[in-house]
Amino acid sequence: MLSLIKLQRVFNVHQVPKAFHEDGIISGYRHPRSSATECVWSLFQLTNETLNVWTHFLPTWYFLWKLMTVLLMEDVWYEAYTWPLLVFLFSCCVYPLASSCAHTFSSMSTSARHICYFFDYGALSFYSLGSAISYSAYVFPDAWLSSSFHAYYIPVAVFNTILSTSLACYSRLGLPFLHYSHDIVERFSERQCPRMSKVLRILAFAYPYLFDNIPLFYRLFVCVGEGCTDNEANSVHVQHTLLAFLTSFLFATHLPERLAPGRFDYIGHSHQLFHVCAIIGTHFQMKAIEMDMGLRRSQLLASAPAISFNNTIGAALLCVSVSLGIICVYSLPLLYGSNPKNTAHKE
């Protein structure tokens, strides 16, 4: 039994392929050809990925509990008013779970690393759509209810979700139909253009976020007078917004490890901090949405567009299906077209 749980050796940045390198992280890397079992056991020792996993895996259960409390309500499936909340809560469960799995199994191989993060990107895009669906139902300011922008808001959010998944996957490997070359990983890895890959990935998630939050930003920071929906939820929305910008800042800047490489390899690097900020921000977002849902119920049922299967669960199912298709298109060449010489070997 002791042999099964013995600690795995960790490596420094010069002992793993460049595809595994993280800015400002010098040590704590797992073996780049770890088995699935070794990946799981590594969660119980300190590596540079350990807290990346736990900071998202544990909150998944909290969001799942919140989802179950709604699902167990009477007549939830017959009351369309709760459907946007269901979609949002489900997306809150999916994105941290996908992230924790990606960080767990990304050290199995270079190809596995790419595929793991494809699913991570798809889950983040789905979370963006879940936010948009709930905002359309509960958060839109009074002045914009049933406007032309409101009518096109969900269709555009669906398009943005598909675009986000596509662009994020593209940022890792380029065009998928070119991947059937023998030098697949070397030619199309983000290592060839790391800065451009980073810019594309930030754009892939920043653009949908900014679009989704147009009605909220207008309500909080622009609108004055009648129709601005000034209620108790606004202060909670502000807390979520501040944490969202802090999350984006940490992801884009790689601080603090960029200022002191090697000092934050295991605890305190930007990816861990942005995970924590993202989860806390999602908690405040959920709280604000639930407040708006309760406080504005009678008004929204009377004035807002009717909530239907198509603009809630149907839109979510469509995006999940398309995103999975995109992920498959990018993943299949990695599964069947890679060359052993492009993957790391056991030492």
Q: What integer pLDDT is reported at residue 163 of this predicted model? A: 97
Long-range pairs of 241-245 with CB within 8 A, sequence gap ≥ 24: 241/213, 241/216, 241/217, 243/277, 243/278, 243/280, 243/281, 243/284, 244/209, 244/278, 244/281
Q: What integer pLDDT is reported at residue 121 of this predicted model? A: 97
Q: Give the residue from 190, 183, 166 showing the smallest Cα distance to 114.
A: 190
Instruction: Give pLDDT tens digits for 124-167.
Output: 999 999 999 999 999 999 999 999 999 999 999 999 999 999 99
How many CB atoms lie under 10 A from the CB of residue 297?
Answer: 12
Q: What integer pLDDT is reported at residue 64 of this predicted model? A: 98
Q: Is residue 83 part of a domain?
A: yes
Q: Is residue 159 part of a domain?
A: yes
Residue tagged 């934050």 (tokens): 264
Q: Which residues of the chain have pLDDT under 70?
A: 1-6, 74, 175-192, 337-347
- Counting Cα atoms < 13 Å in the Cβ hemisphere of 135 gives 28
Joined tokens for residue 73: 């309500």
Q: Is residue 48 part of a domain?
A: yes
Q: How far apart are CA 136 and CA 312, in angstroms?
A: 10
Q: Is residue 4 part of a domain?
A: no
Q: How far apart are CA 33 and CA 14, in angstroms?
A: 15
Under 8 Å between Cβ of 150 and 136: yes
Q: Is residue 146 part of a domain?
A: yes
Q: How far apart are CA 191 and CA 193, in angstroms?
A: 6
Under 8 Å between Cβ of 219 and 228: yes
Residues of the domain holding 179: 13-342
92, exposed or middle or buried, with CB in 10 Å at 0-12, 13-18, 19+? Answer: buried
Q: What integer pLDDT is reported at residue 345 of this predicted model? A: 38
Residue 108 is which amino acid? M
Q: How far apart are CA 76 and CA 33, in angstroms?
A: 46
Residue 9 is which amino acid? R
Question: Any idea of the CA torsion for 309, 66, 219, 228, to the nearest 10 degrees?
Answer: 80
Question: How many distinct structural domains can be found in the chain?
Answer: 1
Under 8 Å between Cβ of 49 and 272: no
Q: Is residue 66 part of a domain?
A: yes
φ, ψ dihedrals at 64, nearest 5°: -65, -40
Q: Is residue 195 part of a domain?
A: yes
Q: What integer pLDDT is reported at residue 341 of this predicted model? A: 38
Q: How far apart are CA 145 and CA 235, in angstroms?
A: 21
Q: Is residue 315 part of a domain?
A: yes
